[in-house]
């Protein structure tokens, strides 16, 4: 029997195309027939021409390259009349109607057909396999009848080989398991010995109990004794108090110290590794050497440090750059602050020298600080005014005058008079000349002989003086003075 070509039908190709997009190909059966192809067009066929056998699928195998082998078993038991096996077709489930089928592929042997005899002449059993194309279908299945599965000689031989290999693998696995168990038993003993060696690796002491000054902890297995450098890791349940101790598995309390010998400071929730120093009888806190007696007032604001009392944050304020000008008042830079900028104190300026300042007076200028004047020169001042006043008042001389000469002009009865007075440390201070001005016209005409004296009133201060005439309310419309120290 020879089926030269197994051709996919038009409906088979439509299913194959949809399978490339995710639709499943589900093979359902294989049919045998004896129909002649004649004028039938395979592409349009929906069933075999003359059905002789309807076979359940017994096997499906998918190969690389987009191929699949569909297998069924045939026997002529019950066949009453022989036939020429010309037709072979594979059917698949209709993806649009799960209760319907389509003929996926079809082949016709024509004149090369084998004859299948009736049951009476001989018993015939065949394994029929059809190799067909499935493309890149992501899901290919078959409706398989497990009650009618046949095994080929080749498949049987392959199965025997596989079973033998599995048995050998199992035997090896059993041997390996026994060896592994022996190793595990040995390792367990070694592990127990290793775990109890807390010098090599610290024990897990868990979360502490007790109080802030007397911690307790336990480990499993427990330590036999506190040997030198034996270690334990603990999680502290509360902040430590002064001079804390640890009692490990009730062996006895031992002080907890820093490497520098000071008492350790532990924080709640902190994980600490401790090792026992047999020489001192103390647990030594590992990985910690913070010490010192600094306080927040010794550290810049925002900076932190670790000390014997724990972590601290500084409070010293910083002072930026400031420029100070000379002043008559004391200027200070407050203590307890960090100068992080240049502090500039401006110099005293000026050109005064010692001989420019009266002897005995102290001054500062660009020529020196706290200099003492050496000048013995006398000061004097001169002034003039044409503003009407009844009392001449002069201030701001910068010295106390000892000698004053003043000349004032007044108008009396439309006549101009000149008053001249002199003050000299009490001499002549009570006499002032009063006379007409000879350049003026007087009434009666030519009367220039008027001359008399007036009593001046002087008031002398440390930097000025006042002048007026007693018992006369003269208005001075002009005055001029000379004052000497």
Q: What is the extent of the structural domain holding 252?
A: 203-285
Same domain, 145 and 210: no
Please tell me the distance from the alpha carbon of residue 255 to that of residue 132, in angstroms, as a whole number. 85
Give the torsion through C-alpha atoms of 163, 169, 171, 173, to 10 deg.
-140
The residue count of the chain comes to: 485
Same domain, 21 and 127: yes
Residue 174 forms part of a structural domain:
no
Contacts of 443 (CB under 8 A, 6+ apart): 414, 415
CB-based contact 68:19 (threshold 8 Å): no
Residue 113 forms part of a structural domain:
yes
Number of domains making up the chain: 3
Residue 337 φ/ψ, nearest 5 degrees: -140, 160
Q: What is the pLDDT of residue 159?
A: 47
Same domain, 225 and 128: no
Residue 279 forms part of a structural domain:
yes
Q: What is the pLDDT of residue 145?
A: 59
Contacts of 115 (CB under 8 A, 6+ apart): 82, 83, 84, 85
Would you give per-residue pLDDT tens digits along the chain (485 residues)?
568 889 999 999 999 999 999 999 999 999 999 999 999 999 999 999 999 999 999 999 999 989 999 999 999 998 999 999 999 999 999 999 999 999 999 999 999 999 999 988 678 888 999 999 988 877 887 666 555 544 455 554 664 576 566 567 766 766 777 776 777 666 666 555 555 589 889 999 999 999 999 999 999 999 989 999 999 999 999 999 999 999 999 999 999 999 988 999 999 999 999 999 999 999 999 986 566 778 888 888 889 887 766 678 988 998 889 998 888 788 889 888 898 899 899 898 888 888 778 788 897 888 889 899 887 778 899 999 999 999 999 999 999 999 999 999 988 877 788 888 889 885 655 556 766 655 444 444 444 445 677 788 889 999 999 999 887 778 999 999 999 99
Residue carrying the six token digits 């439309």: 414
Residue 315 forms part of a structural domain:
no
Same domain, 121 and 207: no
Same domain, 263 and 135: no
Dihedral-angle region of residue 370 (phi above 0 means left; psi in -120 to 50 means alpha; beta otherwise): left
Same domain, 233 and 114: no
Q: Which of 239, 256, 285 is the last residue of a domain?
A: 285
Residue 316, number of CB atoms within 10 A of its CB: 16
Same domain, 146 and 207: no
Return the closest-CA partner of residue 458 out of 423, 409, 408: 423
Residue 350 forms part of a structural domain:
no
CB-based contact 32:1 (threshold 8 Å): no
Q: Which of 285, 303, 336 is the last residue of a domain?
A: 285
Residue 291 forms part of a structural domain:
no
Query: In the 8-state DSSP scheme, what is residue 358?
Result: B
Distances (CA, A) of 288 to 8, 242, 478: 82, 17, 95
The two structure tokens encoding residue 303: 């900076």
Q: Which of 237, 269, 285 is the last residue of a domain?
A: 285
Same domain, 120 and 226: no
Distances (CA, A) of 381 to 58, 92, 238, 376, 392: 142, 136, 88, 16, 15
Same domain, 135 and 239: no
Please tell me the distance from the alpha carbon of residue 281 to that of residue 254, in angstroms, as a whole number. 7
Same domain, 121 and 249: no
Same domain, 146 and 219: no
Please tell me the distance from the alpha carbon of residue 410 to that of residue 415, in angstroms, as a whole number. 8
Same domain, 94 and 11: yes
Residue 63 forms part of a structural domain:
yes
Residue 363 forms part of a structural domain:
no
């Amino acid at each position: 029997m020879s089926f030269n070509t197994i051709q996919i039908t038009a409906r088979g190709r439509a299913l194959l195309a949809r399978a490339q997009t995710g639709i499943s190909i589900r093979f359902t059966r294989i049919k045998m027939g004896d129909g002649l192809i004649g004028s039938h067009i395979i592409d349009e066929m929906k069933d075999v021409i003359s059905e002789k056998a309807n076979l359940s699928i017994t096997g499906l195998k998918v190969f690389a390259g987009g191929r699949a082998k569909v297998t069924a078993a045939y026997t002529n038991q019950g066949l009453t009349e022989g036939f020429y096996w010309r037709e072979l077709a594979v059917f698949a489930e209709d993806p649009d109607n799960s209760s319907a089928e389509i003929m996926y592929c079809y082949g016709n042997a024509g004149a090369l057909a084998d004859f299948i005899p009736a049951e009476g002449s001989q018993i015939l059993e065949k394994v029929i396999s059809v190799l067909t194309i499935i493309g890149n279908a992501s899901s290919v299945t078959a409706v398989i009848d497990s009650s009618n599965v046949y095994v080929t000689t080749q498949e049987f031989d392959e199965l025997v080989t596989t079973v033998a290999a599995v048995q050998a693998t199992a035997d090896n696995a059993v041997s390996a398991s026994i060896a592994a168990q022996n190793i595990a038993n040995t390792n367990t003993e070694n592990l127990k010995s290793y775990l109890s060696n807390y010098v090599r690796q610290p024990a897990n002491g868990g979360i502490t109990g007790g109080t802030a000054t007397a911690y307790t902890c336990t480990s499993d297995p427990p330590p036999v004794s506190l040997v030198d450098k034996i270690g334990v890791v603990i999680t502290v349940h509360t902040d430590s108090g002064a001079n804390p101790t640890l009692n490990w598995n009730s062996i006895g309390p031992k002080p907890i110290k820093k490497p520098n010998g000071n008492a350790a400071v532990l924080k709640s929730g902190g994980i600490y590794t401790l090792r026992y120093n047999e020489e001192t009888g103390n647990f030594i806190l590992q990985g910690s050497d913070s010490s010192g007696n600094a306080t927040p007032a010794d550290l810049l604001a925002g900076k932190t440090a670790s000390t014997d009392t724990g972590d601290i944050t500084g409070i010293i304020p910083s002072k930026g750059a400031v420029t100070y000008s000379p002043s008559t008042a004391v200027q200070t830079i407050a203590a307890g602050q960090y100068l992080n900028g240049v502090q500039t104190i401006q110099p005293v300026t000026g050109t005064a020298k010692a001989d420019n300042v009266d002897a005995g007076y102290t001054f500062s200028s660009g020529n020196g600080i706290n200099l003492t004047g050496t000048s013995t020169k006398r000061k004097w001042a001169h002034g003039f005014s044409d503003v009407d006043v009844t009392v001449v008042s002069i201030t701001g001389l910068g010295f106390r005058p000892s000698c004053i000469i003043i000349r004032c002009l007044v108008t009396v009865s439309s006549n101009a008079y000149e008053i001249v007075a002199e003050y000299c440390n009490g001499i002549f201070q009570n006499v002032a000349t009063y006379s007409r001005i000879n350049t003026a016209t007087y009434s009666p005409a030519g009367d220039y002989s008027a001359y008399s004296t007036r009593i001046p009133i002087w008031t002398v201060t440390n930097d000025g003086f006042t002048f007026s005439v007693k018992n006369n309310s003269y208005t001075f419309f002009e005055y001029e003075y000379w004052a000497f120290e």
